């Protein structure tokens, strides 16, 4: 149910029991935006109370199903990349004082889909370290067929990779000192002699890319090998098929060079293009989701302490971001073609249809919950 143990009529009644328009709202709620004209001016606390009653997972499912139904542009890659990462809404925290107790901020584990260009799943967590235990629970709700999962090194745990493999997915995840022995073994394996062998083509795969940022040149070198049988605890990491390394070299205009290395473990067989793509794509959760939530939707400015309401509001903002990105694709595409006015009318019609389709989905959910 959209509202847990409440139908939509009950939810509207909570907004303002004394309002004479309640019955009219019940009849007209399926008409989309018109209903909101009738509840303008009500105390913001009513909205907060209503939003906090909505079932989070059901709300997210409505949005994801809708986006799947209106995908305007085909994804160019055959595998989806799901990036797991946590985000904190700092405005919802409170320091301990004479009147209030210390309150931790809203912390959410997000799962960002590169194919849909949206957050398809999320889970409220207490702290950053709780991501470790939350990931297996979130994975249970996902379909991981033909999917590669990525996350930062904190979450590289045996239980997490096992959960991914149990749902039929693959993983390509960072390895750091939180797995000290494993990290040291992989670091020792990728010595300079090994890197030269991989670069020469006698083992594994190698890829080099360069970027120029003003006067700085950044070089990325990707190494992947299927030689994993030497690792004594290989069987403890479900589906382990390859090790990887990314060497990043930053060269300044004065000739100064800074080098850093990051190590990875993966269930992917040797495919250096896919391996490098998965690693690069992981950062979309930061660049395309978290950055937008902070700077476009100003999430840190929201001081609501009702975590359930704030969580549902965040889900809604993520959906709005997805729709805005889809509209942006259409508008950008229209200006690159001839007959701009005609094309623009066609694209605007698609946008109008998109909104109508959303309210069709929304009405269907409301009807099912009456």
Domains delineated in the chain: 1-54 (no CATH), 55-351 (3.90.350)
Percent of the chain clearing pLDDT 70 (strictly above):
71
Q: According to the model, what pLDDT value does residue 199 have? A: 95
- pLDDT, position 128: 64
- Is residue 33 predicted with pLDDT exceeding 60? no
32, pLDDT greater than 90? no
Q: Which residue has the higher pLDDT, 202 or 307?
A: 202
291-295 long-range contacts (CB < 8 A, ≥24 apart) are 292/321, 293/87, 293/317, 293/318, 293/321
Q: Which residues, 6 or more positions from 22, have their beta carbon under 8 angstroms from its beta carbon?
A: 12, 13, 16
pTM for the full model?
0.76
* Rounded-to-integer distance, Cα 363 and Cα 315, Å: 19
Q: Count CB neighbours of 36 within 10 A.
A: 9
95-141: pLDDT as tens digits? 766 666 667 888 899 999 998 889 999 998 877 667 888 999 999 99
Q: Which residues contact 233 (CB under 8 A, 6 or more apart)?
A: 182
Q: What span, in angstroms and rounded, lies between the C-alpha atoms of 133 and 126?
A: 11
How close are the terminal C-alpha atoms of the chain, in Å?
10
Structure tokens given for 92: 């919802």
- 253-285 pLDDT per residue, tens: 888 899 999 999 999 999 999 999 999 999 999
- The pLDDT value recorded for residue 116 is 87
Q: Chain-wide mean pLDDT for the chain?
A: 78
Residue with more model confidence, 91 or 205: 205
Cα separation, 22 vs 13, in Å, equals: 7
What is residue 328's predicted lDDT score, i.e. its pLDDT?
74
The C-alpha R_g of the chain, in whole angstroms, comes to: 24
Asked if residue 142 lies in contact with residue 134, where contact means CB atoms within 8 angstroms, the answer is: no
């Amino acid at each position: 149910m959209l509202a847990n143990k409440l139908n939509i009529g009950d939810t509207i009644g909570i907004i303002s029991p004394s309002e004479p328009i309640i019955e009219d709202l019940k009849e007209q709620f399926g008409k989309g935006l018109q209903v909101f004209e009738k509840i303008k001016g009500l105390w913001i606390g009513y909205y907060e109370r209503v939003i906090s009653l909505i079932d989070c997972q059901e709300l997210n499912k409505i949005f994801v199903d809708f986006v799947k139904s209106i995908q305007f542009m085909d994804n160019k890659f055959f595998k989806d990349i799901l990036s797991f990462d946590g985000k904190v809404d700092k405005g919802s925290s409170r320091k301990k004082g004479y009147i209030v107790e210390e309150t931790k901020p809203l912390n959410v584990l997000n799962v960002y889909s590169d194919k849909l260009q949206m957050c398809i799943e999320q889970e409220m967590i207490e702290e950053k370290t709780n991501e470790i235990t939350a990931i297996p629970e979130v994975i249970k709700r996902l379909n991981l067929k033909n999917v590669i999962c990525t996350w930062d090194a904190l979450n590289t745990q045996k239980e997490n990779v096992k959960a991914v493999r149990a749902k039929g997915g693959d993983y390509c995840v960072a390895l750091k000192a939180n797995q000290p022995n494993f990290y040291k073994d992989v670091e020792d394996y990728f010595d300079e002699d090994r890197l030269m062998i991989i670069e020469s083509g006698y083992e594994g795969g190698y890829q080099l890319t360069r970027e120029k940022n003003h006067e700085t040149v950044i070089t990325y070198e990707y190494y992947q090998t299927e030689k994993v049988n030497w690792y004594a605890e290989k069987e403890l990491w479900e589906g382990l098929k390859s090790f990887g390394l990314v060497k990043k070299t930053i060269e300044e205009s004065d000739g100064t060079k800074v080098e850093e290395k990051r190590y990875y473990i993966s269930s992917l067989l040797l495919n250096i293009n896919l391996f490098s793509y998965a690693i690069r794509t992981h950062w979309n959760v930061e660049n395309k989701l978290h950055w937008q939530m902070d700077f476009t939707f100003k999430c840190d400015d929201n001081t609501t302490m009702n975590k359930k309401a704030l969580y549902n509001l965040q889900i809604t903002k993520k959906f709005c971001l997805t729709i805005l990105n889809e509209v942006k694709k259409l508008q950008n595409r229209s200006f690159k073609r001839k007959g701009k006015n005609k094309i623009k009318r066609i694209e605007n019609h698609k946008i109008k249809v998109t909104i109508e389709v959303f309210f069709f989905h929304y009405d269907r959910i409301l009807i099912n919950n009456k």
